[in-house]
Amino acid sequence: MSVIFILIFLSLIVAVVFLYLFYRAVKSGQYDDTYTPSVRILFDDKKPDGPKREKKKSKKEKPNSSKT
């Protein structure tokens, strides 16, 4: 049964690690703005790389040309 002493210490240490992580998260400002990240995560990660750009432009030209 004495193994419980060790186990409890271990569990406490693990819990303290999480407490410390929480502390660091608060100090680094993660809880200062709880709204913006919820919007930000929905944005597409489109990087302005070459091929995509051309593709988009050609898409836009289509309606133009069909109208004229």
Q: Which of 4, 6, 13, 58 binds another protein (CB under 8 A)?
A: 4
Among 33, 51, 58, 65, binds another protein (CB under 8 A): 33
Q: Which of 7, 12, 14, 17 touches another protein by CB under 8 A? A: 12
Interaction between residue 40 and another protein (CB under 8 A):
yes
Are the C-beta atoms of residues 46 and 52 closer than 8 Å to each other?
yes
25 contacts 31 by C-beta, under 8 angstroms: yes
**Residues contacting 59, CB < 8 A, separation 6+:** none
For CA atoms 25, 28, 31, 35, the dihedral sign is negative
Under the rule (CB under 8 A), what is the footprint of another protein?
1, 4-5, 8, 12, 15, 19, 22-23, 26-27, 29, 31-36, 39-40, 42-44, 46, 48, 53, 56, 60, 63-64, 66-67
